[in-house]
Chain A
């Protein structure tokens, strides 16, 4: 069934696993730009509404409410940056590694042989920014392996490579 590479055929797992240090790839900056733009647009509108409406109806001092969304905006700006930096993935010889999260960290390992389906999705906003996300499905629904905000070319390359490796190592249920 398995036609895995020969150099990793040893069963003493920890030594081989730590021996091959994964080569991590981060996400392109397009995703960060898109998320920050959306943040600015929505919170900017909210700040405008929170400033103008009380300012007109209850007197100018009440326009200070606009500071609330603005503070959120600054906070969100920093948060998005940290979150974006935390995303990374690595294609190893036999499995795909995805690591993400700042406060709630999560690292997922999916052996290529377990992949049932590779999905490339791109919504209208993502398409405008030239982004696409790759999602891996295994037979377990709990497997949460998504890489968002990739370059479409990179997403397609990843999809083709994952499909190819998945076919070669296919193991099913």
Chain B
């Protein structure tokens, strides 16, 4: 730094200094000791009761007097020793009281940025910020930050990752977003009613416990199987509705924004060029209404839903935004008729199409699923052929992507498959040429 830049240097220094998380953070694990006790009691109820009767009130109070301050101290210290800082090229998170741990997350490697606000955190006005990079740990999230701070930090991280100059990155602010689609609650509820899994789990929760009661007459057995079944039923119906409520997909220069949730609000920003695979799923009962579900894979990200339910035209429009220049192929090439000897009936569900930008493969007869992989995202291509397939001169072509997902074109004609293998390798190699750079604004 030269003399004229002194003021900048000061500001830069201030900006790189370590910051602490929101002071409410120590309370996030306040429930942990209680949960451990409850878990132990539920695991072994008889012994827990025995132990409880032996405890006197004074012992209980003494135990609490030790446990609560210890937990509070632990929470406080782990908060006190957690810092984060944003430098020119990375986000640094330092944690650990005894075992120090520093995570350096390179900004140009960002695959997605998540900001989640669980219900209690919304009440307290804080949010969790998580950077998805390949190989990131669950620990590498910033929990919790003030809501405004989280939003500002997200905008700054994205601006820096996009390639804005570091001096201006924190002044760029949030990029303007344009809404692409929104799922109305009625449509979402109806789509869940038309999903087989919802009814399956509900039926299991209603049928299995009475049957068990008739067979065993044991309350514990019924409870032990009934409660998880009930939980699963709730999660797949009400839980999904609550999680996918108010689903909004928006587009902005720094990527795709996905907002959803009724109680826990979740936000995800996927910068351009991070999507590895897109799947268009069409359950049987949705077909009459022409609805589809769109899933996407981003390396290192746990969220996989892009659109929970939407009319096909709207969904295809969103897909075209996610994968620029891609149109969802209409007609797919089926395997040859003799494929019926390898997979009876269901062979009709398979199909592939290769366009200039994507490799598309469909599978499933009742629940159709069409996977799209941009050529630039293909990591390796494999051809596999078992003995029975060789008898019928068929083989499978696997296309591996960076999100640890493999898209398979099954039961292709053996000669066509060999051609496809080499052609795909060539396309994936050259597909990189016109891909966006990692720093998409640079």
Contacts and interface: CB of A to CB of B under 8 A. Distances in A.
A103 B387 contact: yes
B433 A104 contact: no
Interface stretch (A41-49, A108-116, A146-154): A108-116
B422 interface: yes
B421 A9 contact: no
B299 interface: yes
Interface residues of A, number: 36
A111 B379 CA distance: 7
B422 A109 contact: yes
Contacts of A110: 379-380
A142 B400 contact: yes
A85 B419 CA distance: 24
Interface string A85-112: 0000000001100000001111111110
Contacts of B425: 17, 95, 109, 111
Interface in A50-101: 94-95
Given A14-B422, A107-B421, A110-B380, A140 B387 contact: no
Nearest to B426: A13
B325 to A, nearest CB: 15
Interface string A136-158: 00111111110000000000000
B426 A8 contact: yes
Nearest to A107: B383
B426 A17 contact: yes
Point out which of A9, A17, A103 has the most chain B C-beta atoms below 10 A from its C-beta: A17
A97 B219 CA distance: 61
Interface in A1-45: 1-2, 4, 8-9, 11, 13-14, 16-18
Contacts of A138: 379-380, 400, 402
Contact of A173 (B299, B381, B386): B299
B151 to A, nearest CB: 27
Contacts of B400: 138, 140, 142-143
B410 to A, nearest CB: 15
A171 interface: yes
Interface string B213-241: 00000000000000000000000000000
A113 B404 contact: no
B436 to A, nearest CB: 10
Contacts of B246: none
Contact of B379 (A94, A103, A106, A139): A139
A157 to B, nearest CB: 22
A88 to B, nearest CB: 14
B409 to A, nearest CB: 14
A2 B401 contact: no
Contacts of A113: 429, 432
Nearest to A104: B386
Nearest to A1: B432
A15 to B, nearest CB: 9
B398 interface: yes
Given A103-B387, A171-B432, A114 B380 contact: yes
Nearest to A173: B402
Nearest to B429: A111
> Closest 7 CB pairs between A and B?
A17-B422, A140-B400, A13-B423, A139-B402, A140-B379, A109-B425, A13-B426
27 contacts: A4-B430, A8-B426, A11-B430, A13-B423, A13-B424, A13-B427, A14-B422, A17-B425, A18-B422, A104-B385, A104-B387, A105-B384, A105-B390, A107-B382, A107-B383, A108-B380, A108-B381, A108-B382, A113-B429, A139-B299, A139-B402, A140-B406, A142-B400, A143-B379, A145-B380, A171-B376, A171-B432
